[in-house]
Each structure stands twice: as C-alpha cells, then as structure tokens.
Amino acid sequence: MNKNLLSIYDEVAKCSRCGFCQPTCPVYRATGFEGSVARGHNLLIRDVIEGRRKLGIELERNISQCLLCRACTFNCFPAVRTADNVIRARQELLEEQGQPALQQFIFHRLLPNPGELTKYLRFLSWGKRAGLASLARMLSVFAWFGPKLSHAQELLPQLPAHFLRDRLIKKDMTRTQPAKDKGEVIYFIGCGINFALPEVGEGTLDLLNSNGFLVKVLEHNCCGLPPYVYGDISAARLLARQNIMTFEAEKDKLIVTDCASCSSFLKDYPILFAGDNEWEERAKMFSSRVRDINELDCHGLRPRNDVIASVAKQSQKGNSYTIELKGLSQKTPEKIVTYHDPCHLSRFQMLTQEPRTLIKSLPGIKFVELPESDWCCGGAGTYNLTHPDISIKILGRKMENLKKTNADYLVTSCPACIIQLAYGVRKWNLPTKVLHISQIST
C-alpha cells in the first residue's frame, strides 16, 4: 500500500459513521447515495487500506463526487478532515493508474508557463468570439473534463477579448493619487480573474487604490490549486515553488488576491512542503503575507455598475507593473443585496463577517441574508463540468434560496462561484445581477 493512503489511516479511522455529515452534504442531498457522503468516502478509503477492497473504479467514482467544501468536517464531532483524505486518495489513484495526457500537458506544461497558457486561451477566446462553436471540441481543449463540453459553453458563453494582464498593459490612463497612503501591496491575479473575469480585477485595483493602497503586479503562475484537487501534488508543488521564489523579492509587502480559492491555497503552501526543511520554512514566510481582499481595511462602498468610470496610471518595469486606480461614484437608489459564502473563504479561512461588513457599509443598500449562504453552489472549480447533473441540482437549491431574498445583487468573492451563480441566474431567469465584492467599490 502506498504511503499516501497509509499517512491518512488514523484520520480515516476517526470516522464513526454516525451520519451527521449527511444533512449538510450538498452532494448527498442531491443524490441520496451513501458513497457520495463523507462517511462513505472514509469507509471506502479505509477498506482499501485494510485490504477489503481494491484500488479501482468504485473508489474513483465515489471520491470524484466530493466537492471538497468541508461542510462535513464542520458538522463532525471528531472533525474528520474528509476533504484532505479524498485528496490523498485521488493522489493514490493518479500515481497507480497514470494521468491523462492532456491533463498532464495542462498541469505540467501550461500552468507553469503563463505565457504559453495565455497563447492557448487567447486562441480559444478568439474562436468563441468568432462564432466557432466547435473549435474547443475540435481541439479537445476540455476533453479531460468529460463529454459535457456543451455545458461548458453554457457556463461561460463568452471569453473576454482582452485578459486582465492585457488591459493593464494596453490601457492609456491618467494618473491619480490615492486619497490615503497605506503602503504598497502585491496583487496576485488568479487565473479565473485574468482569463474569464478581468472586470473583477479592475474593480479590485480600484478598491485597493481608493482605500490608499498602491498596487504592484508581478509575473507569477497559477496558485496550484487545480492540479492539487485532482491529486497531482507534484504539479502543485512545482507551481508553489515558482510562486514563492517570485514573491521573495518583495518580502516586506503583503500579497493580496480577490480569489477566495487562491487566497486559501496560497495560505496552505506550508502543508504542501511539510517535512521539507528548506521549502516548508520558505512557504511559511510566503503564506504569512497572503491576504484575501476581504481582510483588508476597505470601507465606504457603493454599487458598481455598467456606467462606472475608472482612471489609472500604469508603468511597465521589467516583469512588473505599478498600478494606481481610483473610481468615480454615482448615486443609486436603495438596492437589495445578498451574499453567498464561497467555501474557500468561509470554511477554509473563516472569513464570513468581513464581506458582510463591507456590504453593509454601502449607502442606499438593504442587506438581506441568503438562506444557506454557506452551502456550496456546485461550481467547485471544474466540478460543474465533470459532474454537471449533480452540480445543477445543487445550484437549483441555491437559486430557490436566492428567490426568497428578492435581491437586486448577489455578491460573492470567488470567480468560480460567480460563473456558476451567473449561469444559475440566467437559467432560472432571475433579475438578480451577480457581482464580486470588489465590484462594489469606493
């Protein structure tokens, strides 16, 4: 038996199969299948370790259904870390059965080389905008997600013509000075923000600058979470090492990101290098500087809409850009705003009140709590592509709760959630607009 599973045996054995995980597991509530819930995952893994089952398709099918949302752990008396157990089981399967060639190409070649990744996605963006609906299918770009490429088209019907990094380089903007001076921070651009939701990144830079922060953007890699959740720990470590080395040149500055998934994983870098004397210490130093945008002192918000104007100054210096932005406000009538807690922000980082405080400071806003606000929306990175049938059931529950709020705006803090929730709003034909918290700025 591989050491990956043996290392979690004690954790798996803590599960008493009491069933308290069942009512709070979004997947179990959607499927009713015992193998979908935490105690089912832990039992299967334990059976493999103890030799009662073989490592194979049954384990792979069941653990692939886990959202890794940690709802089970928060409702478990011994707090069994089922999500961590599932990751180790996925690692075991990957090492025993091998990795699909395209997945290996993405994780080991594209993600560690941002320039090459950008070229591929720029081509895909051009194809989608040019109306070549079959382009992605012809290129098999999403083949490793499964056969549901048409669902991917529905989730993200359009890619932006210019990614966030393109916009930072190309825009000719007018210089503005922050109203206050809180020093310089480094902005970590997540892949989802850069390639799919660049307007969110612009909102984040606007929010930071208008609250007195100067912002520096470095050339860095993906945070490493995508390969990690698939069990490719070696690829995750490679990306983490490259990011740590990149940011070590700016040791005195905080690292800020507007992607809850990125901020949670960047903070967990020391776990990747546990037992590695050199890299574990360097990872701890790096992670101690990471802040989610919700953790910073940013107040005085207003709804950001299509008529918002921003001005900025950017100057290219080698592989970095110094960005200064300030938003221009517009009065709006009172709007109802509700908030969805991303799993990577609420249960991974325990940040729940901070975004609500920001929203409630808005003038002309009525905040209405979303029922089951901390339930996963079913996006979970690429889960909505790999398990569309389960994902849509989970999303349906979220949309029914959203209807109860009569919200004009549904705010969240994760690009994957934004894409999933915006898809739900379109599918259920709701009048609500989905925004990132940075899109309501000073």
What's the pLDDT band for 158 if we cut at 50, 70, 90?
confident
Mean predicted confidence (pLDDT) in 25-46: 93
Q: Are 437 and 415 in contact (CB under 8 A)?
A: no
Confidence of residue 180 (pLDDT cuts 50, 70, 90): low
pLDDT in tens, 369-408: 999 999 999 999 889 888 999 999 999 999 999 999 999 9
Task: Give phi and psi for 218, each to the nearest 5.
Answer: -105, 165
pLDDT grade for 14, boundaries at 50, 70 and 90: very high
Residue 341 above 70 pLDDT?
yes
Domain ranges of the chain: 3-97, 330-439
pLDDT higher than threshold 60 for residue 42: yes
- Report the range of poorest mean pLDDT among 35-44, 177-186, 252-261, 406-415: 177-186
Is residue 312's pLDDT more than 70? no
Lowest mean pLDDT among 112-116, 146-150, 166-170: 146-150
Q: Are 235 and 223 in contact (CB under 8 A)?
A: no
| Range 232-237 average pLDDT | 96
Query: Predicted confidence band at 168 (pLDDT cuts at 50, 70, 90)?
Result: confident
The pTM assigned to this predicted structure is 0.86
CATH number, domain 330-439, options 3.90.550.10, 3.40.50.20, 3.40.50.1860, 3.40.50.280:
3.40.50.1860
- Average pLDDT, integer, range 183-212: 90
pLDDT of residue 370: 98
- Whether the per-residue pLDDT at 322 is higher than 70: the answer is no
d(CA 64, CA 231): 11
Residue 342: the pLDDT is: 97
**How far apart, in whole angstroms, are the C-alpha atoms of residue 391 and residue 184?**
40
For the residues 290-313, what does the mean pLDDT come to?
Answer: 54
Beta bridge partners of 38: none
CA distance 40 to 269: 28
Q: DSSP for 168-225, please give it.
A: HHH--------SS---EEEEE--HHHHHT-HHHHHHHHHHHHHTT-EEEEE-----SH
CB 408 within 8 A of CB 436: no
Exposure of 328 by Cβ count < 10 A (0-12 exposed, 13-18 middle, 19+ buried)? Answer: exposed
54 contacts 48 by C-beta, under 8 angstroms? yes
> The CATH number of 3-97 is which of 1.10.1060.10, 3.50.50.60, 3.40.190.10, 1.10.3720.10?
1.10.1060.10
Instruction: Identify the pLDDT of residue 172.
Output: 37
pLDDT, tens only, 64-97: 999 999 999 999 999 999 999 999 999 999 999 8
Query: In this predicted structure, what is the pLDDT of residue 415?
Result: 95
